[in-house]
Amino acid sequence: MRTCIQSAALGCLLASALAMAQTPYTEDSTYQGLGGKEGIRKIVATFIPMLLEDPRIKESFADFDMKQLGVRLEEQFCEYSGGPCKYSGKYRDKTMDGVGTARDMATVHADLKITNAQFNALAEDLQIAMERNNVASSVSNKLIAKLAPMQRVIVTK
């Protein structure tokens, strides 16, 4: 009897270990905190007009397709917060053929001559856009922290 219970418990352990092995662990608490895809859509919808109104940075966006930028930002925020998305934006790699792994923020922003002050202004607007959508500051800080390392490649002036 004892052996039977022991082996059943062992079987159970094995089964759950197998199940865990088949489900890759993904940490998506930031994504969930942002409200998932719908939450991110709302944040970007708040954020884009803020960029266009912010005297510190609005000129940079004057000639660009903001609808397209919004779609790319949604993908990117979703990916960086641990959600089930991949940024699929501009491939400004050497070949310009869209093949490869060059989801490259450096080349996307290279011609724009962005300063640290502009970078910080955009980050501040994003933080406010999240606040306006009732995102907890513990969560918004995490997304900002994920994006912060881009400063090194985006700022070129």
Q: Which residues bind ligand HEM (CB under 6 A)?
A: 57, 60-61, 64, 68-69, 72-73, 76, 89-90, 108-109, 112, 114, 118-119, 122-123, 147, 150, 154
Q: Which residue is nearest to ligand HEM (CB)?
A: 89
Residue 28 vs 146, nearer CB to ligand HEM? 146
Q: How far is the CB of 92 from ligand HEM (least distance, A)?
A: 8
C-beta of 135: minimal distance to ligand HEM in Å?
Answer: 16
The residues facing 114 across adjacent strands are 155
Centre a 10 Å sphere on the Cβ of residue 38 and count the other Cβ atoms it contains: 9
- Cα Rg for the chain, rounded, in angstroms? 21
Decide: 154 and 105 in contact? Cβ < 8 Å: yes
* Minimum CB distance to ligand HEM smaller for 128 or for 150: 150
CA distances from 62 to 52, 88, 114, 127 (A): 8, 22, 14, 22
DSSP codes of every residue in 88-155:
-----SSS-SS-SS---HHHHHGGG-B-HHHHHHHHHHHHHHHHHTT--HHHHHHHHHHHGGGHHHHB
- CB nearer to ligand HEM: pick between 28 and 124: 124
43 or 114: CB nearest ligand HEM? 114
- Closest approach of Cβ 4 to ligand HEM, in Å? 58
- Quote the least distance from Cβ 24 to ligand HEM, whole Å: 25
Neighbours of 134 (CB within 10 A): 9
CB 127 to ligand HEM: min, Å = 11
Nearer to ligand HEM (CB atom), residue 76 or residue 133:
76
